[in-house]
Copies of this chain bind each other. A is one copy, B any other.
Amino acid sequence: MRVIKKHDERKNEILDAAERLFHVKGYEKCTVNDILEEVAIAKGTFYYYFKSKKEVMEAVVSRYTDVVAERANKILKNDKISTEEKLVCIFRAMKINDQIDSDVLNEMHKAENAQLHQKILNQMVTTMAPILVQVVEEGVERKIWSCKYPLQYMQIFLSAALTLTDEGIFKLDKEEQGMLMTALISLIEKMLEVPENSFNQLFIQKWEKT
Please report A residues at the B interface, Cβ cutoff 8 Å.
Answer: 114-115, 117-118, 121-122, 125, 148-149, 151-153, 155-157, 159-160, 163-164, 169-170, 179-180, 182-184, 186-187, 190-191, 196
Give the chain B neighbours of A164 by CB distance below 8 A. Answer: 125, 155-156, 159
**A170-B125, A186-B148, A190-B190 given; A180·B163 CB < 8 A:** no
Q: In the assembly, what is the distance between CA of A95 and CA of B149, in Å?
A: 23
> Does B169 lie within 8 Å of A152, measured CB to CB?
no
Please give the distance in Å from A140's CB to the nearest CB on chain B: 16
The winner among A160, A169, A170 for most chain B CB atoms within 10 A is A160
Closest 7 CB pairs of A and B: A152-B183, A114-B114, A149-B183, A190-B190, A160-B160, A156-B160, A114-B115
Give the chain B neighbours of A155 by CB distance below 8 A. Answer: 160, 164, 180
Taken together, the copies of this chain in the complex come to: 2
Q: In the assembly, what is the distance between CA of A68 and CA of B75, in Å?
A: 44
> Does B169 lie within 8 Å of A184, measured CB to CB?
no
Q: In the assembly, what is the distance between CA of A149 and CA of B188, in Å?
A: 13
**A156-B187, A159-B163, A163-B159 given; A169·B114 CB < 8 A:** no
Closest residue on chain B to residue A180 by CB atoms:
B152
Closest residue on chain B to residue A184 by CB atoms:
B156
Give the chain B neighbours of A156 by CB distance below 8 A. Answer: 156, 160, 164, 180, 183-184, 187
Please give the distance in Å from A182's CB to the nearest CB on chain B: 7
Excluding A148-B183, A155-B160, 17 further A-B contacts by CB distance (< 8 Å) are A114-B114, A114-B115, A114-B117, A118-B118, A121-B169, A122-B169, A125-B164, A152-B179, A152-B180, A153-B183, A155-B164, A156-B160, A159-B159, A159-B163, A160-B163, A187-B191, A190-B190
> Does B114 lie within 8 Å of A149, measured CB to CB?
no
> Does A186 lie within 8 Å of B149, measured CB to CB?
yes
> Does B122 lie within 8 Å of A170, measured CB to CB?
yes
The winner among A115, A183, A196 for most chain B CB atoms within 10 A is A183
